[in-house]
Homo-oligomer: A and B are copies of this chain.
Amino acid sequence: MRASYINDLEEWKDGFGFAVPVTVRFSETDMFGHLNNTVPFTYFEFARTEYFKHLGLMQCWLERDSGTIPVVADLQCDYAKQVYFDEELHIHVKAENVGRSSVDIHYMATDRQGTVCLTGRGTIVQMAKATGKSEPWAEADKELFGLAEQAVG
């Protein structure tokens, strides 16, 4: 597990406290017979939006008169183990670092045996719709991540 964003693997794995299940769809495979490499990013997004719903953040961003939306600044995935049709994965999510207007989200996909198949990370930035510029978190939002981090720590 050579990903640069993982120092101690066991510690990193223990840091996750939220996960959602996904089943690999037939349409998500490719002619090499496995999960296509582009699909884990849709799993990451699904897990991230469920996590943001869990924190209560997603609801605010989806309101019609919300002045801000979350945007993905960067995203990466390491493919540790091939994944196949019909596998049941758990996509784990955690907030790793909270900045002024951004947050680093980490991802881990495990199969039924608990084996790590995918790991990943990416920065989410809160953006003001009107200006397209980054918008600092409210203190209450930062605390949401903080509590989440405590809950999983």
Contacts and interface: CB of A to CB of B under 8 A. Distances in A.
Interface stretch (A11-19, A31-39, A109-117, A142-150): A31-39
A87 interface: no
Interface residues of A, number: 35
Contact of A53 (B32, B78, B86): B86
B85 A79 contact: no
Interface stretch (A65-73, A92-100, A133-141): A65-73
Interface string A31-71: 11110111001100110010001000000001000000101
A97 to B, nearest CB: 15
Given A62-B85, A74-B78, A76-B77, A45 B25 contact: yes
29 contacts: A23-B46, A25-B46, A25-B49, A26-B36, A26-B45, A26-B49, A27-B37, A27-B46, A30-B30, A31-B31, A31-B32, A31-B85, A32-B69, A37-B71, A37-B72, A37-B75, A38-B41, A38-B45, A41-B41, A49-B86, A53-B86, A71-B79, A72-B79, A74-B76, A75-B76, A75-B77, A75-B79, A76-B76, A76-B77
